[in-house]
Amino acid sequence: MTTIQFPDNIKWGAATASYQIEGAASEGGRKPSIWDVFSHTPGKVRRGDHGDEACDSYHRYKEDVQYLKELGVDMYRFSIAWPRVIPNGTGELNPEGVQYYRNLINELIENDIEPMITLYHWDLPQALQEKGGWESRETIDAFEAYAKAMFEEFGDVVSKWITINEPWCASFLSNYLGIHAPGKTSLQAGVDVSHHLLVAHGRAVKVFRDVVPNGEIGYAPNVGWMEPYTDRQEDIDACKRAMMWQKEWFMDPVFKGSYPEELVQLFKKEGADLKLVDGDLELISQPIEFMGINYYTGSLGRYKEGEGLFEAEEIPLDNRRTDIGWPIYADGFYRVLKDLNETYGDVPIYITENGACYNHEEKDGEVNDKERIDYLKQHLASISRVVEAGVPIKGYLVWSLLDNFEWAFGYEMRFGIIHVNFRTFERTPKDSFYWYKQTITNGWFEV
Ligand code: FCB
């Protein structure tokens, strides 16, 4: 047996997002988001699933906080639904919506759990989409006003904030690949949205400094890892290009104040221009306290002429995939974190999401999800390695506390360490919940 050990000061947590768990879609003054509209459009989400009720956490948040307490986490990352607090995207605050989050925050604090708030986890108010959504720079102004209002409401009791969750998904997956709301398929839209999200991030950071001077703010890009199949230069270059789309495109502007020129040119060749306005890069590159990293999957890759935008072919070496079909590559987690540290320096990192999809059902009040425990062990071992290698990892937040609405996959794909029965909303902690609890208590586990 080997013991995998973590430093005492690492923060443990769990994460969720508003549209995926809250439900109560038309209660308390909430108006539709782009995800309400998208999920109610036939053919967009598997089985026609939508977030109208989700996990009903809007009504059951106290029960959920009790599970967090039992789990023993230091932190809980959740997101605010913009259309719950500012239903039209701009204008008056909706007091009932604000009260919901105030209640949740108070409940967390009373139970010794530190809140970490994500401002944008993809539920853009539909009213803003109708005026152009993130393709329009007006949405940046609206986001700044929304962020400021939230900092003013909660900045006295909440110090950790995340501006944007997974800007790659909110831009390219949603506006170029068409898989997420609003479901567009234009590379120009993808590029515009990616840039506007980063400017919105910068504008929020700027306001944050005035309103919450002692707080900590960051964002949460998603990354994968593509390991070159051979050390041939063409394979190495292909993998670099493919990773650049998620990594450098969303990080160079923030940490270096520039976009990767190779990708700017590649997009241009495909007919999509990056449209910079004076001052954008200064805003985007303001210092932040931490980088949030979401990691799920990785693979090997090699050069293949004409393959996709980047001429990189993914090579699955075996069948080790989670139930959602994503290859398991725990070594990639170590590599990408090392790589980020080498490229951007000692920026403190929170693992804001990591976890696995396995669709085990509940039986006699138990859920035996050994595969999820194995996945967590492998990925936490990578964290332990990277900590030992000197990378400043501040915390690890598992995705997710609950099975929930997994976007275009609907409820079919389960990521929770707590099982949710989507008819009765009954919660059942899985074996992984108890394993994680034990790991948090001990600060180590054995393999
Ligand atoms: C990430 C999302 C999160 C969840 C996981 C599985 O891309 O941020 O909401 O759906 O994937």
What are the DSSP calls for 116-156, one per residue?
EEEEESS--BHHHHTTTGGGSTHHHHHHHHHHHHHHHHHTT
- As given in the structure block, the two tokens for residue 148 are 């400021």
* Distance in angstroms (rounded) separating the CA atoms of residues 260 and 283: 17
Is residue 303 very low, low, confident or very high in pLDDT (cuts 50, 70, 90)? Answer: very high
Cβ-based neighbour number of residue 132 at 10 Å = 13
Closest-CA residue, ligand 1 atom 9, reads 17
pLDDT at 265: 97
Instruction: Give the pLDDT mean for 384-395.
Output: 98
Closest-CA residue, ligand 1 atom 10, reads 406
Tell me how long the chain is.
447
Q: Is the pLDDT of residue 318 over 90?
A: no
Determine the residue of 18, 350, 407, 413 to mutate for testing ligand 1's pocket, defined as the one with the most ligand atoms within 8 A of the Cβ atom: 407
Instruction: Give the pLDDT mean for 400-420.
Output: 98
Q: With contact defined as beta carbons under 8 Å apart, do 194 and 273 qualify?
A: no
Q: With contact defined as beta carbons under 8 Å apart, do 169 and 222 qualify?
A: yes
Q: Is the CB of 407 under 6 A from ligand 1?
A: yes
Q: Is the pLDDT of residue 370 over 90?
A: yes
Domains in the chain, ordered, with CATH?
11-239+288-432 (3.20.20.80)
Query: β-pairing, 290-303 with 222-228?
Result: parallel
Is residue 316 very low, low, confident or very high in pLDDT (cuts 50, 70, 90)? Answer: confident
- Burial (CB count <10 Å: 0-12, 13-18, 19+), residue 210: exposed
Ligand 1 centroid, distance to 137 Cα (angstroms): 26
- What stretch of H or E contains 217? strand 216-220
**pLDDT tens-digit profile of 189-234?**
999 999 999 999 999 999 999 999 999 999 999 999 999 999 999 9
Is residue 38 very low, low, confident or very high in pLDDT (cuts 50, 70, 90)? Answer: very high
Instruction: Give the pLDDT mean for 310-322.
Output: 91
Determine the residue of 295, 399, 402, 417 to mutate for testing ligand 1's pocket, defined as the one with the most ligand atoms within 8 A of the Cβ atom: 399
* Distance in angstroms (rounded) separating the CA atoms of residues 80 and 17: 8
* Distance in angstroms (rounded) separating the CA atoms of residues 199 and 281: 8
Mean pLDDT of the chain: 98
Q: With contact defined as beta carbons under 8 Å apart, do 115 and 160 qualify?
A: yes
Q: Which atom of ligand 1 is nearest to the CA of 406?
A: 10
Name the amino acid, one letter, at 405: F
Q: Cα 343–316–446 angle (5° rounding)?
A: 70
* Distance in angstroms (rounded) separating the CA atoms of residues 284 and 391: 24
**Residue 201 backbone dihedrals phi, psi, to 5 degrees:** -55, -50
Q: Is the CB of 57 under 6 A from ligand 1?
A: no
Q: Is the pLDDT of residue 87 over 90?
A: yes
Q: Is the CB of 174 under 6 A from ligand 1?
A: no
- As given in the structure block, the two tokens for residue 410 are 């609907």
Query: β-pairing, 3-5 with 444-446?
Result: antiparallel
Residue written as token pair 């988001």: 33
* Distance in angstroms (rounded) separating the CA atoms of residues 369 and 376: 11
* Distance in angstroms (rounded) separating the CA atoms of residues 193 and 198: 9
How far CA 171 is from CA of 7, 175, 195, 249, in Å, comes to: 36, 6, 9, 12
Q: Is the CB of 123 under 6 A from ligand 1?
A: no
Instruction: Give the pLDDT mean for 169-191.
Output: 98
Positions marked active-site: 166, 353
Name the amino acid, one letter, at 30: R
Ligand 1 centroid, distance to 360 Cα (angstroms): 19
* Distance in angstroms (rounded) separating the CA atoms of residues 78 and 119: 9
**pLDDT tens-digit profile of 265-277?**
999 999 999 999 9
pTM for the full predicted model: 0.98
* Distance in angstroms (rounded) separating the CA atoms of residues 91 and 102: 20
- As given in the structure block, the two tokens for residue 141 are 């102004």
Is residue 319 very low, low, confident or very high in pLDDT (cuts 50, 70, 90)? Answer: confident
Ligand 1 centroid, distance to 204 Cα (angstroms): 22
Give percent above pLDDT 90 in the chain: 99
Ligand 1 centroid, distance to 376 Cα (angstroms): 16
Q: Is the pLDDT of residue 52 over 90?
A: yes
Q: With contact defined as beta carbons under 8 Å apart, do 361 and 426 qualify?
A: no
Ligand 1 centroid, distance to 305 Cα (angstroms): 31
Determine the residue of 223, 294, 414 to mutate for testing ligand 1's pocket, defined as the one with the most ligand atoms within 8 A of the Cβ atom: 294
SS3 category, 421: coil
- What stretch of H or E contains 5? strand 3-5
pLDDT at 317: 79
Q: With contact defined as beta carbons under 8 Å apart, do 383 and 341 qualify?
A: no
Instruction: Give the pLDDT mean for 74-89.
Output: 99
* Distance in angstroms (rounded) separating the CA atoms of residues 406 and 308: 26
Which residues, in sequence order, are bridge partners of residue 120?
Answer: 164
